[in-house]
């Protein structure tokens, strides 16, 4: 049945996405189909050769509606316009280096098919990146990107309210896990806040203020300790950058009501927040420490190629010796499987080695530095809010990724790729935007 569904989707979505892309007026509607399906990602995705019980970062060769629409748009844009380089910036070349350095880890992989699942996901993610880059290159339509994220935040918030009414303690909205939703909102909420904080007119200011409040409320309602700590920190970074590069007394005046709203909102959740931190099981912290130690054991044992891409779920269990804390290295119970190390960086290093980890950090660091540069270069333009917000969002996500590995989940990976493409276009044309001091699609 899933092959039949995929065939129908492939035959329908690709031509439709292509047709919409050929008309600039409707191209943005096609791009919404890249942004919005993350709300029901599992429902619009098919896993080929799947192993759903495997505890790894990829459990199948996943094909999603997001990828099909992105591919259709990419083909359409290449046929409609002059074809552009497939690796248009330094960040994309660093991503290619990261991808290529993952391949040698297959030498040590016990299950090469599982490694292929992760490589396939990385290829799909790059299709999303290059589609987003091409779309923004031809349209400069940053507004559609932010409105799309705002729709996701709104629907997620309404779903969280419904789950609260049903008595669900840790809400996950429409996301696979509450940590995934928390990280998604941590990345985009500072951008919404930056729009409201740095604009002095227009009804969209209040729309984005609403997006920010809903994204923040949804994030806090996950009771994810990492998200609850990192979101305020990311927003603080955005506020400081906004005051540093676009200071105005009006900002001090509007900051107070926002802070009060967030403060009283936090007070409503305070009992559960305190309970979440105080009653967190000690075993959870111990497990995180043990798995981190196991990751270091893997990196020391296989420093150049790691234990195998997406093979953590195999190598952390007996008969492999990396999980030293278990007595005689036996399972706690029959069929028990250890989880994934809760640090994205240690996970990459353990599975693929130190050199791949360096490439991964260089790729992430490139876009963070690009966002920081853009804050200064776009300081007098209407687009200033995008890099100011993304710096705060990436700060939160990079911090949270030391506590949770969800950065590598498809939904969060897609969001990050779209924002990286946004930064790339802004960096390419920042001098033009700064010279003209123009507002692009806003």
In a domain, 66, yes or no: no
pLDDT band at 391 (very low <50, low <70, confident <90, very high): very high
Residue 413 lies in a domain: yes
| Contact by Cβ (8 Å): 35, 64 | no
Cis before residue 319, ω within 30 degrees of 0?
Answer: yes
User: What pLDDT score was predicted for residue 300?
Assistant: 93
Q: Is residue 442 part of a domain?
A: no
Confidence of residue 269 (pLDDT cuts 50, 70, 90): low
Is pLDDT of 390 > 80?
yes
Total number of domains in the chain: 1
Q: Give the integer Cα–Cα distance in Å for 434 and 143.
A: 18
Q: Is pLDDT at 145 greater than 70 in this prediction?
A: yes
**Degrees, nearest 5: CA angle 155-156-161:** 100
**Least confident among 12-16, 117-121, 278-282:** 278-282
pLDDT of residue 214: 94
* Structural domain includes residue 262: yes
Query: pLDDT at residue 9 above 70?
Result: no
Residue 440 has pLDDT above 60, yes or no: no
340: in domain: no
Whether 293 is covered by a domain: the verdict is no
Looking up tokens 């804390």, which residue turns up?
325
pLDDT digits 0-9 by tens, 400-426: 999 889 999 999 999 999 999 999 999
Query: What percentage of the chain has pLDDT greater than the value 90?
Result: 51
Is residue 372 in a domain?
Answer: yes
- 34 within domain boundaries: no
Percentage of the chain beyond pLDDT 70 is 85
301-320: average pLDDT:
91
Domain residues for the domain of 185 are 91-280+346-436
What's the whole-number mean pLDDT along residues 98-110?
96
Write down the H helix ranges in 305-353.
Answer: 312-315, 344-352
Give the three-class secondary structure for 245: helix
Question: If you average pLDDT over residues 317-332, what whole number do you get?
Answer: 66
Q: Is the pLDDT of residue 328 over 70?
A: no
pLDDT score recorded for residue 441:
42
């Amino acid at each position: 049945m899933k092959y039949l569904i995929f065939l129908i989707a492939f035959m329908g979505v690709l031509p439709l996405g292509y047709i919409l892309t050929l008309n600039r007026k409707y191209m943005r509607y096609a791009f919404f189909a890249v942004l919005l399906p993350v709300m029901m990602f599992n429902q619009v995705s098919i896993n080929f050769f799947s192993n759903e019980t495997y505890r790894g970062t990829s459990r199948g060769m996943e094909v999603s509606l997001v990828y099909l629409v992105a591919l259709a748009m990419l083909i359409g844009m290449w046929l409609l316009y002059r074809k552009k380089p497939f690796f248009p910036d330094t960040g994309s070349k660093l991503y290619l280096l990261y991808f290529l350095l993952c391949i040698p880890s297959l030498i040590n992989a016990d299950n090469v098919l599982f490694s292929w699942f992760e490589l396939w996901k990385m290829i799909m993610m790059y299709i999303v990146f290059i589609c987003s880059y091409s779309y923004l290159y031809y349209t400069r339509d940053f507004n559609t990107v932010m409105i799309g994220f705002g729709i996701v935040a709104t629907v997620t918030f309404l779903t969280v309210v419904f789950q609260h009414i049903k008595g669900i303690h840790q809400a996950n909205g429409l996301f696979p896990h509450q940590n995934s939703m928390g990280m998604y909102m941590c990345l985009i909420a500072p951008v919404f806040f930056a729009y409201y904080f740095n604009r002095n007119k227009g009804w969209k200011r209040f729309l984005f203020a609403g997006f920010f409040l809903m994204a923040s409320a949804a994030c806090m309602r996950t009771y994810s300790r990492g998200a609850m700590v990192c979101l305020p920190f990311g927003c603080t970074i955005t506020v400081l950058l906004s005051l540093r590069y676009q200071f105005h007394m009006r900002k001090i005046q509007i900051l107070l009501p926002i802070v009060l709203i967030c403060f009283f909102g936090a007070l409503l959740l305070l009992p559960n927040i305190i309970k979440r931190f105080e009653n967190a099981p000690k075993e959870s912290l111990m497990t995180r420490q043990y798995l981190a130690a196991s990751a270091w054991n893997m990196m020391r044992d296989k420093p150049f190629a790691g234990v195998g891409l997406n093979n953590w779920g195999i190598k952390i269990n007996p008969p492999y010796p990396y999980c030293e804390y278990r007595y005689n290295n036996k399972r706690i119970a029959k069929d028990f499987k250890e989880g994934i190390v809760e640090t994205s960086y240690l996970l990459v290093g353990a599975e693929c080695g130190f050199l791949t980890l360096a490439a991964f950090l260089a790729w992430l660091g490139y876009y963070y530095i690009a966002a920081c540069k853009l804050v200064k270069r776009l300081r007098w333009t209407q687009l200033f809010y995008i890099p100011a917000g993304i710096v705060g969002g990436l700060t939160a996500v990079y911090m949270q990724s030391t506590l949770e590995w969800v950065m590598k989940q498809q939904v969060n990976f897609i969001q990050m790729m779209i924002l990286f493409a946004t930064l790339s276009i802004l960096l390419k044309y920042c001098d033009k935007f700064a010279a003209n001091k123009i507002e692009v699609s806003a």
